[in-house]
Amino acid sequence: MEALGKYLVLLGLVLGAIGFALSLHALVRAVGRTLAEPAKDVPATAGSLSREPVWVRYHVRYYGYALLFLAFDMEMAFMYPWAVVYREEGLVALLDMGFFLAILFLGLLYGWSQGALRRQ
């Protein structure tokens, strides 16, 4: 298949997906009805109205946990494609992933030395 044909197939798939999403949206708007409720736009917690302000502040120590979680979550996101091409690339891919994990491990050691993992 020539290159232009591949792009036409891709364009058809994109237009089909957009058309499908728009048709589902139109169907929901036509069939579904909106119920007017007085407390519908008020934030709720577990089905009851909240007595506290909705915009609560979190302590700054939780941001360190969030950053560590994101770092190791991204590690897993990068390890899956790496595992797919590992057999093709061989030692080069292994060294690249070792370097990547070493950088993450150094970050973990730094956070540990600064007390980011200490429970308070």
Check the CA dihedral 35-38-44-46 and report its sign: negative
Overall average pLDDT of the 40-68 stretch: 71
Q: How far apart are CA 119 and CA 110, in angstroms?
A: 16
Q: Residue 62 pLDDT more than 90?
A: no
Alpha helices, DSSP H only, in the chain? 3-31, 61-89, 91-113
- pTM score, two decimals? 0.45
* Percent share of the chain, pLDDT over 90: 21
Q: Residue 9 pLDDT more than 90?
A: yes
